């Protein structure tokens, strides 16, 4: 579908990895871009994330670089604490430093001219004949801001708010979303009347719990800390009487880490924090494990009780990431469906921002060909979300059902030259690189 030749401003709501990628993509297309973030930092869960390039994410990353949309991946590589590490079921992973990544991304957005509104929560919209024309936002302890746009990107996420964490999880775990301080997420598409989609776990309950928590590295035993610093990963056997059940891991959003190895072992990754690869761990049990006698949670602060609940606000969309029923609104990150992870967010954010810019030019929108992993994932997840069985799964390049699909369709490879060839054959080389 084509748009109209309105003023070329793209407004993006939500500045996680996906929103930042959308901002860069639209700005490179020559649009004025305004990015609204309700908190005081960029990247959302990326502030406590860190895992890149593991398994099929390597393929997706190199596809995006070959397509000219690799800016954020290159920054993540530059800020890696560890490269090419292995941990159970995962290979050739990079771990970026959660302390330095956000300022680096903020600098990149500022350098290309993206206008960022921090501590500014969108609260309302105005529409006209099926298009959103402007958003209204409240600055924390400040004024109300009204901004018009020709196209909009909804990257507001699907986590929380607190009432969902209480009803479907174990209560507010005081996570990086910081809803009590900055307010809950706000979807411009939902406000415009689009019905959001909620994920369903195999047991029939709703939503999914975030898949990892973080420990203060200085609370670890000295031998564990040294191993993390030198190797980036530490695998600690759990005494049998302290192990969780495999079924308990089914509540996680990150199903690629729901395997027997994660039942039998504590897996820690060095992202600046000690990233503990489980949704939560009761502190009284954790401290019975050798080396963790003084363990303390960094995120969420109540990581001994629970974690944030996610996938409550996805949007129906097509393979252009255009929201069904709204001509000038695109979606990315978790709003675009059951794709889990930073890599997946950057992929969808780049396409959403790019197509929002094309809409402002009255230019045909772009779908990434399914001969590439990035395009296949976007199309496959959209189709799967139309079935009850599909809504019970989570999809990621790095594991579980979608990584198996990648391997079965011969999409997974770590051969960079082969990836470049595939991108070239798909006529997608440098498509996201600059104004066209």
Strand partners, 206: 200
Model confidence at 384, pLDDT cuts 50, 70, 90, reads very high
Span 187-215, average pLDDT: 93
**How high is the pLDDT of residue 435?**
64
Question: Distance from CA of residue 285 to its chain's centroid?
Answer: 30
Distances (CA, A) of 166 to 13, 47, 58, 104, 307: 25, 23, 36, 34, 10
Query: Is-contact 320 355, C-beta < 8 A?
Result: yes
Residues contacting 204, CB < 8 A, separation 6+? none
Element (H, E) at 381: helix 373-384
**pLDDT tens-digit readout, 296-322:** 999 999 999 999 999 999 999 999 999
Residue 385 has pLDDT above 80, yes or no: yes
Model confidence at 201, pLDDT cuts 50, 70, 90, reads confident
Alpha carbons 232 and 294: distance in angstroms, whole number: 20
Residue 45 has pLDDT above 80, yes or no: yes
Alpha carbons 71 and 434: distance in angstroms, whole number: 12
CA torsion 365→370→373→378, rounded to 10°?
50
Question: Distance from CA of residue 341 to its chain's centroid?
Answer: 4
Q: Which of 141-150, 239-248, 257-266 has the highest mean pLDDT?
A: 141-150
Q: Which two tokens stand for residue 331?
A: 């979606």
- DSSP state string for 254-312: -GGG-SHHHHHEEEEEESSSEEESSS---HHHHTTSTT-TT--EEESTTTTT---EE-S
Mean of per-residue pLDDT scores for the chain? 94
**How high is the pLDDT of residue 182?**
97
**pLDDT tens-digit readout, 95-150:** 999 999 999 999 999 999 999 999 999 999 999 988 999 999 999 999 999 999 99
**How high is the pLDDT of residue 229?**
97
Element (H, E) at 126: strand 120-128
Residues of the chain with pLDDT > 70, as a percent, come to 94
Query: Is-contact 344 134, C-beta < 8 A?
Result: no
Helix (H, G, I), strand (E, B) or coil at 402: helix
Residue 5 has pLDDT above 50, yes or no: no
Query: Is-contact 359 131, C-beta < 8 A?
Result: no
Residues contacting 358, CB < 8 A, separation 6+? 3, 29, 364, 365, 366
């Amino acid at each position: 579908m084509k748009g109209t030749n309105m003023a070329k401003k793209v407004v993006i709501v939500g500045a996680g990895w996906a929103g930042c990628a959308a901002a860069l993509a639209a700005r490179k297309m020559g649009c004025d871009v305004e990015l609204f973030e309700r908190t005081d930092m960029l990247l959302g869960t990326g502030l406590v994330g860190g895992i890149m390039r593991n398994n099929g994410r390597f393929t997706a990353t190199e596809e995006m670089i070959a397509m000219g949309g690799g800016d954020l991946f290159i920054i993540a590589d530059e800020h890696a604490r560890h490269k090419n590490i292995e941990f159970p079921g995962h290979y050739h992973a990079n771990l970026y430093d959660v302390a330095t990544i956000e300022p680096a991304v903020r600098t990149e957005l500022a350098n290309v001219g993206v206008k960022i509104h921090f501590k500014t929560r969108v609260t309302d919209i105005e529409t006209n004949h099926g298009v959103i024309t402007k958003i209204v936002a409240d600055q924390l302890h400040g004024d109300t801001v009204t901004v018009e746009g020709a196209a909009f990107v909804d990257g507001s996420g699907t986590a929380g708010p607190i009432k969902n964490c209480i009803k479907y999880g174990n209560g507010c775990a005081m996570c990086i979303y910081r809803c009590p301080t900055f307010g809950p997420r706000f979807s411009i598409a939902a406000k415009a009347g689009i019905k959001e989609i909620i994920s369903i776990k195999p047991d029939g309950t709703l939503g999914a719990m975030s898949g990892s928590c973080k420990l203060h590295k200085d609370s670890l035993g000295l031998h564990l800390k040294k191993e993390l610093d030198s190797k980036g990963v530490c695998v600690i056997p759990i005494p049998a009487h302290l192990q969780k059940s495999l079924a308990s891991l089914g509540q996680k959003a990150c199903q690629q880490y729901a395997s027997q190895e994660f039942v039998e072992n504590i897996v820690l990754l060095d992202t600046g924090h000690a990233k503990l690869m489980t949704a939560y761990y009761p502190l009284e049990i954790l401290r019975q494990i050798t080396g963790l006698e003084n363990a303390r949670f960094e995120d969420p602060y109540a990581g001994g009780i629970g974690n944030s609940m996610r996938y409550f606000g996805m949007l129906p969309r097509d393979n252009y990431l255009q929201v069904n029923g709204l001509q000038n609104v695109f979606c990315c990150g978790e709003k675009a469906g059951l794709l889990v992870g930073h890599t997946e967010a950057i992929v969808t954010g780049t396409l959403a921002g790019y197509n929002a810019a094309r809409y402002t030019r009255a230019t045909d929108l772009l779908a990434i060909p399914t001969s590439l992993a990035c395009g296949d994932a976007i199309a496959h997840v959209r189709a799967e979300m139309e079935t009850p069985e599909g809504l019970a799964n989570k999809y990621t390049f790095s594991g579980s059902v979608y990584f198996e699909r990648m391997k079965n369709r011969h999409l997974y490879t770590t051969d960079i030259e082969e990836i470049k060839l595939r991108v070239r054959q798909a006529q997608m080389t440098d498509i996201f690189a600059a104004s066209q």
